[in-house]
Chains A and B, each alone.
Chain A
């Protein structure tokens, strides 16, 4: 009860932090889509470099986020931009990987039929491969977003703001209520975004594919 009272009292701050939090993750994911989807498509056509790119992206994923935030400071300083940049790196991997899987698992017969009919590579990409991998790509975007909402709390460390502020302040003041004030909205945001993007994913699944399986 006390927690609720506390949160109501700080409602305005929480809301502001929430917006900031969404902004950091949103922008990071948006850039990750802009970069990751083309890379995913590109490596799906170049099997020889696919392993390398996926490997690099994989390794990036394994670097502890705390370390990466620390490493970026000497290069980009602190604040909004470096935070978005680090989050973008984290968001890339699931998007690249899912795009790659989506494109490479499109039924070979459909593509052969397309080629046989005289579709150009671009037409096959636009009319067959991308639409058919869209649900998979959306899945990658969803995973990225959810992970990023959590990771973004750490971005508060380098001055990006957001819900992480409450958590770090709570830790330094040994104030559990403060920590929860940051953690609970973060978790809720992740859950809501997950549900929302899942919904979009289903919506984007072409009608002709839904009946399958």
Chain B
């Protein structure tokens, strides 16, 4: 949809503000640009709709260089939302939303219908149509800002810290609504913020910027779990996973090594094996020695005692049914399932229902303990 190729912005031929930036923005995604103040986020974004002319490089919009469009034509294809909203104070909210449609000579009825439709989309009552900007709260004004950007149904929307000036509750609400809107409309959104929580919440992909360069362009999950360097790691904040348990999955908290034992073994044999391995519990599987297979159930060493048990094969002895959980289930869901089923341990399976690991209460505790200690370490540094 949009591709930045070696884009450079310099002022006075020497101050490099954006340094050979490469960025590929896929259709229908929310891309977040994040970084410290002055790192060039706004500049990078404004070069896309030519509000700032680039010094070098190329930006493709829909496969065509942005220089092949006139600035006005380009901007009308790209919605634009800024922190200060910038509603025209002397005309009504309705007229604000209808501004570009009016410039494009839509007829009055069509414009009005569109404005009312957009008001509904951003969750504002029709009565706001006749109001003025100064009568609206900051959050409401920004809803109008979004509605206005959507007026002519552009495929791409640029948003420069649209929610930064809002109180935390309103901000969260608008973030949620943006995501909802995105689900409905499937726009391509470039979103600038300096708030990592916001970036993680709404970004399909995040570009972490520093000194006019992109350090890492990745999914939120990968940014969290595999920061490319210390800067990104610190920027993301080590406590982040702790704050976002939704981003931790069963495969991150499981023990990969699982004691397995073949289903055809007799009880006595199994008892000896387990004793020699020093384990009290094992998972019964079809083929011994290989973990990646469908688990049959748990066996506890106590089940193997006594004449009867010693004679039988494990397949017939397995009683405790296993509770399985998919490897991509997140931490809150894993915990909920443990609580619900009163299971002390869950088997983690992949798409083919094959076992990849086990989550036990202690493995969960281990992960949390790690996070807490990292969190505290970080706190000590301040």
Assess whether A112 is in contact with B85, with CB atoms less than 8 Å apart.
no
Interface size on B, residues (CB 8 A): 30
Chain B interface residues toward A at CB < 8 A:
49, 51, 71-76, 80, 82, 84-92, 99-100, 103, 132-135, 145, 148-149, 158
Q: Which of A25-33, A65-73, A94-102, A201-209 contacts B (4 or more CB under 8 A)?
A: A201-209
Q: Closest residue to A134 on the B side, CB-wise?
A: B90
- Cα–Cα distance between A207 and B93 once the two chains are bound (Å): 12
Assess whether A113 is in contact with B89, with CB atoms less than 8 Å apart.
no
Which B residues touch A116, using CB under 8 A? 49, 51, 75, 80, 82, 158
Known: A112-B86, A114-B88, A117-B149. 20 other contacts (CB 8 A): A107-B86, A109-B82, A109-B84, A110-B88, A112-B84, A113-B80, A113-B87, A115-B51, A115-B75, A116-B49, A116-B75, A116-B80, A117-B80, A118-B73, A118-B100, A119-B100, A208-B89, A211-B134, A211-B135, A212-B134
Which A residues touch B86, using CB under 8 A? 107, 109-114
Which A residues touch B92, using CB under 8 A? 208
The contact sample of 13 A-B pairs, CB cut-off 8 A, is A109-B82, A112-B86, A114-B88, A116-B158, A117-B100, A118-B73, A119-B103, A127-B88, A132-B90, A206-B91, A208-B92, A209-B89, A209-B90
Q: Is A128 an interface residue (CB 8 A)?
A: yes
Which B residues touch A117, using CB under 8 A? 75-76, 80, 99-100, 148-149
Chain A interface residues toward B at CB < 8 A:
107, 109-120, 123, 127-128, 131-132, 206-209, 211-212
Which A residues touch B100, using CB under 8 A? 117-119
Interface of A is mostly: helix
- Cα–Cα distance between A208 and B148 once the two chains are bound (Å): 18
One of A113, A119, A123 near B85 (C-beta < 8 A): A113
- Cα–Cα distance between A211 and B100 once the two chains are bound (Å): 26
- Cα–Cα distance between A127 and B74 once the two chains are bound (Å): 20
- Cα–Cα distance between A75 and B34 once the two chains are bound (Å): 67
- Cα–Cα distance between A146 and B74 once the two chains are bound (Å): 48
A26 to chain B, nearest CB (A): 28
- Cα–Cα distance between A13 and B311 once the two chains are bound (Å): 136
- Cα–Cα distance between A107 and B134 once the two chains are bound (Å): 13
Assess whether B148 is in contact with A131, with CB atoms less than 8 Å apart.
no
- Cα–Cα distance between A207 and B158 once the two chains are bound (Å): 30
One of A107, A113, A118, A132 near B103 (C-beta < 8 A): A118
One of A109, A114, A118 near B76 (C-beta < 8 A): A118
- Cα–Cα distance between A47 and B311 once the two chains are bound (Å): 98
- Cα–Cα distance between A139 and B133 once the two chains are bound (Å): 24
A126 to chain B, nearest CB (A): 11
Q: Closest residue to B75 on the A side, CB-wise?
A: A118
B197 to chain A, nearest CB (A): 25
